[in-house]
Structure 1
Amino acid sequence: MAPVSRSAPAPAAAVREMDIDGEVTLFHEPTHTALVLNETAGDVWRLVDGERTVDEIVRLLASSYGASDDDVRAGVEAALDELVAHHVVDRPPSG
């Protein structure tokens, strides 16, 4: 996987966020699909704003979780990969 630390992922324009029973649920209008996020993916989603880089998201969550950046990075990357695969996050090319 190519390094993406400098990229700033952003929410896709056609996504609506809903809180259903305390869980973040994202609805992608073009495909009419809903995605219920687990706790980690929900934490990542809340930090995706098109301004924060992946490294910044990792640092913020590591601090929040009381863990090292290295321990958190794989979970953040996996969550971002899933969010991108479901078309709810746009991830610009690294660089």
Structure 2
Amino acid sequence: MSVKTLTKDNFTTEVLQSDQAVLLDFWAPWCGPCRMVSPIVDQVAAEVDGRAKVGKVNVDEQPELAAQFGVMSIPTLIVMKQGKAVATRVGVQSKQAILNMLG
């Protein structure tokens, strides 16, 4: 499964109405730690294909979504289930830590 680029236009359909858990990766291109966690998030997306969705939110392009979730530092990873945030981690996380967030 590919990682989806999330915007305010597709967020409701892709995340809030999803019947699967969704891992959100809030990031920006200029963020060094974000570039470190990005390939890990891609690996997680491949591993959870069919069980969960993975999406990336560029905080520079989608400031409304970042504000909606109170994202103050990036990278921030949030797991959504049935339209609600159920787990949040800030900073670089290991692949296992991210998988554990998804349950």
What is the TM-score when the length of structure 2 is the normalising length? 0.25
Q: Which has the higher strand share?
A: 2
Q: Which has the higher helix share?
A: 1
